[in-house]
Amino acid sequence: MSESPDSVVRTYIQSHRAAFLDDLADWLRIPSVSAQPDHDADVRRSADWLAAKLRETGFPVAEVWPTGTGAGAGTGADAGTGADAGAGTPGAPAVFAEWPSDDPAAPTVLVYGHHDVQPAAREDGWHTDPFEPVRRDGRIYARGAADDKGQVFFHTLGVRAHLAATGRTTPAVHLKLLVEGEEESGSPHFRALVERHAERLAADVVIVSDTGMWSETTPTVCTGMRGLAECEIELYGPAQDIHSGSFGGAVPNPATVAGRLVGALHDEHERVAIPGFYDGVAELTDAERALFAELPFDEEEWLRTARSLATLGEAGHSTLERVWARPTAEVNGIGGGYQGEGSKTVVPSSALLKLSFRLVAGQDPDRIERSVRDWAEQRIPSGVRHKITFGAATRPCLTPLEHPALQAVVTAMGRAFGQKIRYTREGGSGPAADLQDVLGAPVLFLGISVPSDGWHAPNEKVEVDLLLKGVETTAYLWGDLAAALGRTHR
């Protein structure tokens, strides 16, 4: 009786586990902090290390792609076109790798991750050197262990296990990896990079390995992220601060206007009161709400994570629904007039409002921008000049529960974890949406990190068992996905 594929995969992983973890430790030793210019060389070294490792893994193509002002050198024909949004600034390199299937009609999968990490210093509260990985209690402690090197790296052993279990020499899907080097710096050149390389990045489905699961005991798959539109409203009243005794109560005050805009942003049910804001919003189905409610959510614990004393949000929705599936309007900043010690009796000359809107499936950032502009302009009184600026928006991503690729991920995870896989979403917004936008491919999320991993915090860690579950999931996934998506004619 021959071994089951699952037991072949597990055996393969066990026999390569030590080398896999040693390799990951080598990578974690490179302090690829993209936000700190004195680590630029480390970020480049990290990209080179990964490209070499991917070639060693078997990827026939593994390239380091420059971004920003450096992009010209590596892209030949594109040199000097200035297509990058952040073309005027130097960028950190990304790594692209490709392993075509020997079946030319196999579907194409693009895996996204990043090789840069958050800053970390021993004095921030790390028990050990953040760039000297420590194995203890089944965990690896190091900056980047979970966010995101560990979660990128499980794909290397995963594809080898897939080949070992299936006897194939190439993956069942055309496998591509794009591992950027600026995610922790806000991905300033990412969209331009994706646009420039859209043909080489073309895929039937994108798998983002830069998120997490509900918990160690509740494995989950994330099905979407919210989008983001950001807006700054500058308000100008008197040409200079004027005396509130001589003029107060008789001329418009821009700080008052800023406050009134905030006051008008929501209705008494904490719904966003901007006309048209909810147009097209994909309402949660009863099935989706039931899936959220299945999760072992503890509001007290969530409040501790939120460092907050109470919940407050849109009436008729649970906390999870509010942060995962409902659009919001948030005041990120407000300022105007005198903010120092004591008092100053002025009508301020100007005020500033920074708003951001989290968007969900069905909302279009351009339409939101028009709605917000109309709403604000109608509320700014004559005598107050204004400037409303929107930054680049991020679209929401949401994969329907019945999407075959999502079901393939759930099946593969279920095999690896031996448990029912539940569904989550992500309240934040990320560069993955650019992949969806530019490549026109649905975005799926495959992450094995858990909240206790401490992303961006001291003593970041990854659970070795979960890391190996990630390896195992991808070992099953490529075959499942090829079957689920069928043959394509890309």
Helix (H) or strand (E) run with residue 141 in it: strand 139-141
Stretch that binds its own copies, among 135-143, 344-352, 467-475, 477-485 (CB under 8 A): 344-352
Would you count residue 458 as binding its own copies (CB under 8 A)? no
Would you count residue 261 as binding its own copies (CB under 8 A)? yes
Would you count residue 313 as binding its own copies (CB under 8 A)? yes
Residue type, 299: E
For the chain, how many residues are written? 490
Rounded Cα distance, 128 and 331, in Å: 38
Among 2, 169, 339, 378, binds its own copies (CB under 8 A): 339
Size of the site for its own copies (CB under 8 A): 80
Rounded Cα distance, 443 and 448, in Å: 17
Closer residue to its own copies in complex, CB, 121/338: 338
Distance of closest approach, residue 26 Cβ to its own copies, in angstroms: 31
Stretch that binds its own copies, among 15-23, 153-161, 170-178, 251-259 (CB under 8 A): 251-259
Closer residue to its own copies in complex, CB, 201/229: 229
Distance of closest approach, residue 120 Cβ to its own copies, in angstroms: 18
DSSP string, 154-220: HHHHHHHHHHHHHT-SS-SSEEEEEEES-GGGT-TTHHHHHHHTHHHH--SEEEE-S-B-S-SSS-E
Closer residue to its own copies in complex, CB, 169/305: 305
Distance of closest approach, residue 371 Cβ to its own copies, in angstroms: 17
Would you count residue 333 as binding its own copies (CB under 8 A)? yes
DSSP string, 449-464: B-GGG-TTSTT-EEEH
Distance of closest approach, residue 95 Cβ to its own copies, in angstroms: 26
Tell which positions 366-405 bind its own copies, by CB under 8 A. 381-385, 391
**Closest to 443 measured CA to CA, from 391, 395, 392, 393:** 395
Rounded Cα distance, 406 and 418, in Å: 17
| C-beta separation of 28 from 131 below 8 A | yes
Helix (H) or strand (E) run with residue 12 in it: helix 5-28
Tell which positions 396-455 bind its own copies, by CB under 8 A. 426-429
Closer residue to its own copies in complex, CB, 135/344: 344
Would you count residue 343 as binding its own copies (CB under 8 A)? yes
Would you count residue 323 as binding its own copies (CB under 8 A)? yes
Distance of closest approach, residue 8 Cβ to its own copies, in angstroms: 39
Written as six digits, the tokens of 471 are: 């390896």
Would you count residue 264 as binding its own copies (CB under 8 A)? yes
Among 269, 344, 387, 487, binds its own copies (CB under 8 A): 344
CB burial of 214-238 (b: ≥16 within 10 Å; e: otherwise) equals beeebbbbbbbbbbbbbbbbbbbbb
Residue 374: C-alpha distances to residues 236, 368, 379 (Å): 18, 10, 9
Would you count residue 308 as binding its own copies (CB under 8 A)? yes
Rounded Cα distance, 46 and 67, in Å: 15
Closer residue to its own copies in complex, CB, 334/401: 334
Tell which positions 184-243 bind its own copies, by CB under 8 A. 226, 228, 230, 232, 237-240, 242-243
Would you count residue 352 as binding its own copies (CB under 8 A)? yes
Closer residue to its own copies in complex, CB, 2/339: 339
Closer residue to its own copies in complex, CB, 201/355: 355
3-state secondary structure of 226: coil
